[in-house]
Chains A and B, each alone.
Chain A
Amino acid sequence: MARKKTFFRRRKVCKFCVDKIEFVDYKDTKLLQQFIPERAKILPRRISGTCARHQRPLQRAIKRARHVALIPFTTD
């Protein structure tokens, strides 16, 4: 039987909890940029580790910022 491999995975933590960011501002493109990888999709929680409580406002902020062309919907 194959030996069970042990993975050492860095524990993901919610950036907003750690940095105590309670208000996600759609104008804060620097912050939002961290959650939109190359294709400019919204980074899923499972990857970013953002908790549900903070993913929601984050998602809203990204969508607002997209609307006013502060951040892209996609890359062309």
Chain B
Amino acid sequence: MRTYELMVVLDPRMSEDDATQMTGDIRTLVENSGAEVIKMEVWGRRKLAYEIEKLKEGRYLLFYLSTENGDHRLAEAEHRLQQNDQVLRYLVVRTDEELRRAGLPLPSPDEEPEEEAAPDEDAEAGGAEPGKGEEE
């Protein structure tokens, strides 16, 4: 399995609704190219470090993707993004190799219930944390 990150910077002048629409469109575009969206982050409007097309702000989106054995056509999706005038910038980065090398977990979808780690669990359950313990 390979994982990727796709960051998209959209034109800040579009309306909130259009942005939501666009976000959905990009998601579909990516999914149609054979990648699975594991997680998505909407950063919203953010100041650009430098002006792009005279704009000082951008709307940031971040997709965490995974594909099975490189069986995808992300290049096609990229091409489509490039053609889109609403897209100021995009960036696709393959992350699985680096993450693995660093011994970090690959991105996984956020679990719905956040407060799952029940605080009332008795402490002497015998160190229930499996693996990944910090070694000295």
Q: Assuming the A-B contacts A22-B102, A22-B104, A23-B99, are A71 and B49 also in contact, with contact meaning beta carbons closer than 8 angstroms in the complex?
A: yes
Question: Chain A: which residue is nearest B56 at the CB level?
Answer: A69
Q: Assuming the A-B contacts A72-B50, A73-B50, are A67 and B102 also in contact, with contact meaning beta carbons closer than 8 angstroms in the complex?
A: no
Question: Chain B: which residue is nearest A29 at the CB level?
Answer: B49
Could you tell me the distance between the alpha carbons of A73 and B49 in the complex, rounded to whole angstroms?
A: 8
In the complex, are the beta carbons of A69 and B52 less than 8 A apart?
yes
Q: Assuming the A-B contacts A26-B93, A64-B93, are A69 and B101 also in contact, with contact meaning beta carbons closer than 8 angstroms in the complex?
A: no
Chain B interface residue number, banded: 20 to 34
Query: Could you mark each residue 87-100 of chain B with 1 if its beta carbon is under 8 Å from any beta carbon of chain A, else 0?
Result: 01111010000110
Chain A interface residue number, banded: 10 to 19
Chain A residue numbers with a CB within 8 Å of B60 are: 68
What are 18 residue pairs bridging A and B, where the CB atoms are less than 8 Å apart in the complex? A22-B101, A22-B104, A23-B98, A23-B99, A23-B101, A23-B104, A27-B62, A57-B98, A66-B49, A68-B89, A69-B9, A69-B48, A69-B49, A69-B50, A69-B58, A69-B89, A70-B49, A72-B50
Q: Assuming the A-B contacts A67-B89, A68-B89, A69-B89, are A23 and B52 also in contact, with contact meaning beta carbons closer than 8 angstroms in the complex?
A: no
Could you tell me the distance between the alpha carbons of A64 and B48 in the complex, rounded to whole angstroms?
A: 14
Query: Could you mark each residue 8-24 of chain A with 1 if its beta carbon is under 8 Å from any beta carbon of chain B, else 0?
Result: 00000000000000110
Asked if B130 CB lies within 8 Å of chain A CBs, one says: no
Question: Chain A: which residue is nearest B101 at the CB level?
Answer: A22
